[in-house]
Amino acid sequence: LWQHVTRAINNKDQTEATNEKFILEEAQRKAARERKAKCEDWMPALFEQELATGEWHYRYA
C-alpha cells in the first residue's frame, strides 16, 4: 500500500513521496465517501476503540 511512498523516501525524493502519499490518501477519501453514500459502516481490522475513553488500541495486544 505504501511501497511507492517508501521507495521515494528511500530515494530521498520528497516531492515524489508527497505526490504518492497524496494519491494514496485521495483513494482512501474516495473509498470513505463511497461507504458513506451507501450507508456502510467501516470497521478497522486491527484496532478497536475503547468506548469509555475513545482511545484506539491494537486488537491483538
H/E segment holding residue 47: strand 47-49
Give the tens place of pLDDT for each residue, 18-48: 999 999 999 999 999 999 999 999 989 999 9
Q: Which residues have CB under 8 Å from 45's CB, separation 6+? A: 59
Could you state, in order of their start, the residue ranges of all structural domains in the chain? 3-58
* For residues 5-17, average pLDDT: 98
Predicted confidence band at 61 (pLDDT cuts at 50, 70, 90)?
A: confident
How many other CB atoms are there within 10 angstroms of residue 24's CB atom? 14
